Chain A
Amino acid sequence: MIMTPEMKTNLLEKLWLPIAIEGGKTLYPHRRNKKMKLLTLTYSENFQEIEMLEERNLTEKKHVTAWAPTYVVQIRLETELSAATVTGASRYEDSITHQNFKIKDRFPFDIVNLDFTSQNPNFELGRVEKELASLEMTIKLQADHDNDGFVLIYTTLLNSKDIGFSQIINTSHSISAAQPLCINNTTFSSTIQDQSEKISCLEQLYEKICFKYYSRINYDKIIRPLNSDDNTLCSFAGILRRSDG
């Protein structure tokens, strides 16, 4: 597991919770108990986001869909979170591309926590590209279900592997050509090797992919080097809205 419980708690307190609380106020200003539908990619010993969001009256377990990366984790989560829906047993980014994507009918959600560090990441070349494709497919599914606004959290690990910027642009176009991804092909090199350039690219992509489907986004981020090698933990959390209404 990449993210220790302490690291996750820190992200939760500094970034995820403040944005989720703000999202609750913005999206459901008149509800005391927000009862927001949560989709979270999570892990068996490290699912404190569910507890913390529930403690702050943002969600209830019965409104939670927890995506577990493996059957063993799924069993553990099912025993801990009996009221929640626990599913997955595969990598989210590999599953959303399939026609019979297990949770398609559960969309839309009010909070989507795509924490890919919880999913036994496969560190082959092309991992981040796949994650971003699944991020866009998730946002598109939200929009296709007439969702007017939601909280979107995206967390990943950048390691020494290159990022294929051109590939991401092409994939985005193939997911939906109707709306343009407002980022220039020449903004970054076709294949990005430099770590700071990768971070900048990731942030711009998070923002521009959100803008493809939603007209407003307020977001914040935490970028933190990890102890080992060149690894950097990147987390973005934002409130997406379709209009001012």
Chain B
Amino acid sequence: MMAEIPMGDSTRIMHESQEKWVVENWNNTLANYTEDVEKLVNMTELFNIWATKLQSISSADKFIPEIFMDSYISIHFAGYGLYKYAHACLRSQLESALRLVYFSKHEVEYGWWSEGSTWFKDNKLADVWGRGHDYFRELRTVKDFKKECPDAPELFGNKMRIAKLYSELSQFIHSGAGQFQTEVGKVSPAYEMEKFHRWNGMFKKVQECIHVALALGFPDEFKNMGETDRSKITNSGISNSSFRQALDKFFPP
């Protein structure tokens, strides 16, 4: 039997209640969404493919585990009924994926960032890549993809897919109305089908955007990753059929 860990009264009350609601909420989530959760965990495994293929890129060594971990912990939080924090992980994941694309071509800035510099904030820029998503829109592959696959949803730009997702996810960071963790009259986290369902949809959209952004950000690596790995990413990581068809067209096997 494990020795009892010494703790103060308040800590003990917190610890004991946590132990209960964590198990209860996970059980309720799995009772209703067991297949979905399995699919989502399998989706997180797709980042192993990127980890393997981007080994020659120094920033990938730091970012890919973090991108994976954000998705993995997002599932944990959602399973516990901590939906606000599950969404926050997704915003962080999206940011890290875009930073990876940017830093892969900006070694100097990657060095600054690694040393803790916040030059972009000092210059009133939204992120390391500048304002909005203009940097990504100007990438040759992104431009060619838009030209050759006009039916595919547009990822970058004002009111485009990533900007919209980011804005929705930011509401959970900035505690927008309706995105609170607690409810009037109830503070303990609990499984809620509607909230889980909403997070589940958001999770899939974020993964999809990340895989498409990585494919366009690392076109050679995506092209040469082998049929099995590529189809795993397109079939399991990307739900939107227009995106899937466009990637198959743009990167013919």
Contact = CB atoms under 8 A, between A and B. Distances in A.
A69 interface: yes
B56 A89 contact: no
Contacts of B65: 71, 89
Nearest to A101: B55
Interface in A111-150: 122-124
A71 B44 contact: yes
Contact of A71 (B48, B58, B227, B229): B48
Interface residues of A, number: 16
A89 B228 contact: no
A71 B68 contact: yes
Interface in A97-119: 98-100
- B interface: dominant SS: helix
Contacts of A99: 56
B22 to A, nearest CB: 16
A72 interface: yes
Contact of B228 (A70, A90, A124): A124
Interface of B: 41, 44-45, 47-48, 51-52, 55-56, 58, 61, 65, 68-69, 72, 226-229
27 contacts: A69-B48, A70-B45, A70-B48, A71-B44, A71-B47, A71-B48, A71-B65, A71-B68, A72-B44, A72-B45, A72-B72, A75-B72, A89-B48, A89-B68, A90-B48, A95-B55, A99-B56, A100-B55, A100-B56, A100-B58, A100-B61, A122-B226, A122-B228, A122-B229, A123-B228, A124-B226, A124-B228
Given A99-B56, A124-B226, 11 more contacts: A71-B45, A71-B47, A71-B48, A71-B68, A71-B69, A75-B72, A95-B52, A100-B56, A100-B61, A124-B227, A124-B228
